[in-house]
């Protein structure tokens, strides 16, 4: 198999992991002149980059993508805690983390199970792989929106708006996708402003919408990649009914072994040394989380898929000040989704006969039975 042409192309490659292993072993931190980026791949380099005081989540000269300026989408983006550093981040993150922390695990599991059953009945995903992809994208939005007490009748619209909003934010989005994203942001802002009793699009409204957008692709990817793992390890599928907790362990290992979020970026706000490399203000670093997950210095025999792995280190949800607080929520939703899909007759071993990956520079989301874009 031809290896990926770059760390960005690796995200949707059929098997990027030998390539990532080579980066970790030989080029854990290096400059990729073709991309015009530094690339951090080893666990130590990834940790150093994500915890560097000089590396920022956005280019200092462009805190909001220019295409979004003057729109509700731009205002949401501006106030997202994950897109802010320094004082703004310190002010916003405790509230966001506290909201996630107050989602009682039992309540999350109950809602995730109920949403998965309802969507499986509505979509019949075992009968059509396109509807299987729809299930993966709709489930996280349905669960999170339901936990936020959105009216059940509005859930399909919220899922569609979230999909448009996410695609409008993606690097390289076409102009028409950006415009649909802006229109979706208007609808989401109106809905959650009314739901939360806010007269304006403030940080609470913006970060509530942020819960949906963060869950949308990443959790769909986790559901799909878990199905791929079960298809490639049929022995695990046969053991699920007899071994309580095994599916949850499989999902946690998928987070590491075949990460739904493969990379992120950091931008230098000044000259400095990052992961031992002198960098200049304006430099950008591609942080390859999926490669760090396969670093043998933190996960021995990293190529082995081992749900019972001890002392697992996964970088998928980040480290440092910007580590995502939603890991438990995402894994609970994925667990419920995969469990329901198996219950209604989805067969992972047949799914992997034809699997491609949805076009993306960051997230690894399987598309079963087709190489097309199954994003809604």
Average pLDDT, the chain: 94
Residue 257 tokens read as 């072994």
- Return the percentage of the chain with pLDDT > 70, whole number: 96
Backbone angles phi, psi at 261, to 5 degrees: -105, 110
CA distance to 120, 130, 344, 347, 370, per residue, from 127 (Å): 10, 9, 10, 11, 15
pLDDT at 105: 86
Q: What confidence tens digit (pLDDT) does each residue in 181-193 have?
A: 999 999 999 999 9
More confidently predicted of 88 and 370: 88
pLDDT, residue 292, reads 98
- pLDDT surpassing 70 at residue 374: no
Residue 103, pLDDT > 50, answer: yes
Higher-pLDDT residue of 321 and 331 is 331
Per-residue pLDDT at 376 exceeds 90: no
Q: What is the pTM of this model?
A: 0.95
Q: Looking at residue 326, what is its pLDDT?
A: 85
- The predicted model gives 140-169 an average pLDDT of 97
- Hey, what domains does the chain have and what are their CATH numbers? 7-55+66-368 (1.10.630.10)
Checking if the pLDDT of 372 tops 70, the result is: no
pLDDT tens per residue across span 305-318 = 999 999 999 999 99
In this structure, the number of other CB atoms found within 10 A of the CB of residue 220 comes to 30
Q: Is 286 exposed, middle or buried (0-12, 13-18, 19+ CB in 10 A)?
A: buried
- pLDDT tens string 68-95: 999 999 999 999 999 999 888 777 777 6
Whether the predicted pLDDT of 373 surpasses 50: no
pLDDT at 171: 85
Q: Which long-range contacts (CB under 8 A, 24 or more apart) does 200-206 make?
A: 201/72, 201/75, 201/76, 201/79, 202/79, 203/79, 203/81, 203/92, 203/95, 204/95, 205/76, 206/75, 206/76, 206/78, 206/79, 206/80
Residues 6+ apart with CB under 8 A from 48: 40, 274, 275, 276
**pLDDT higher than 60, residue 375:** no
Q: Cα–Cα distance between 134 and 375 in angstroms, integer?
A: 7
């Amino acid at each position: 198999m031809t290896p990926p042409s770059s760390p960005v192309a690796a995200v949707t490659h059929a098997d990027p992991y030998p390539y990532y292993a080579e980066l970790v072993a030989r080029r854990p931190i290096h400059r990729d002149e073709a991309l015009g980026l530094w690339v951090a791949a080893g666990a130590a380099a990834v940790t150093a980059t994500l915890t560097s005081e000089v590396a920022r989540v956005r280019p200092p000269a462009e805190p909001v993508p220019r295409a979004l300026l003057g729109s509700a989408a731009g205002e949401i983006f501006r106030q997202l805690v994950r897109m802010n550093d320094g004082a703004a981040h310190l002010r916003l993150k405790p509230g966001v983390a506290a909201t996630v922390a107050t989602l009682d695990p039992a309540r999350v599991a109950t809602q995730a199970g109920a949403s998965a059953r309802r969507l499986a009945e509505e979509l019949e995903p075992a009968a059509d792989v396109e509807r299987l992809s729809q299930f993966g994208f709709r489930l996280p939005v349905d669960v999170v929106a339901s936990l936020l007490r959105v009216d059940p009748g509005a859930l399909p619209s919220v899922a569609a708006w979230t999909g448009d909003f996410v695609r409008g934010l993606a690097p390289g989005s076409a102009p028409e996708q950006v415009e649909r994203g802006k229109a979706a942001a208007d609808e989401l802002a109106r809905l959650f402003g009314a739901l939360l009793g806010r007269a304006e699009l403030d940080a609470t409204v913006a970060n509530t919408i942020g819960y949906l957008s963060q869950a949308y692709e990443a959790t769909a990817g986790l559901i799909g990649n878990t199905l791929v793992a079960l298809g490639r390890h049929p022995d695990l599928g046969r053991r699920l009914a007899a071994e309580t907790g095994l599916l949850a362990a499989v999902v946690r290992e998928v987070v590491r072994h075949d990460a739904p979020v493969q990379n992120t970026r950091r931008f230098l706000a000044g000259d400095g040394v990052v992961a031992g490399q002198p960098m200049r203000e304006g430099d950008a670093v591609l942080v390859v989380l999926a490669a760090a997950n396969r670093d043998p210095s933190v996960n021995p025999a990293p190529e082995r898929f081992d749900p019972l792995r001890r002392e697992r280190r996964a970088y998928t949800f980040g480290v440092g000040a910007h580590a995502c607080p939603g890991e438990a929520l995402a894994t609970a939703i994925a667990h419920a989704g995969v469990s329901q899909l198996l219950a209604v007759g989805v067969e992972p071993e047949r799914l992997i006969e034809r699997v491609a990956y949805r076009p993306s520079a960051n997230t690894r989301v399987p598309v079963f039975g087709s190489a097309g874009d199954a994003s809604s």
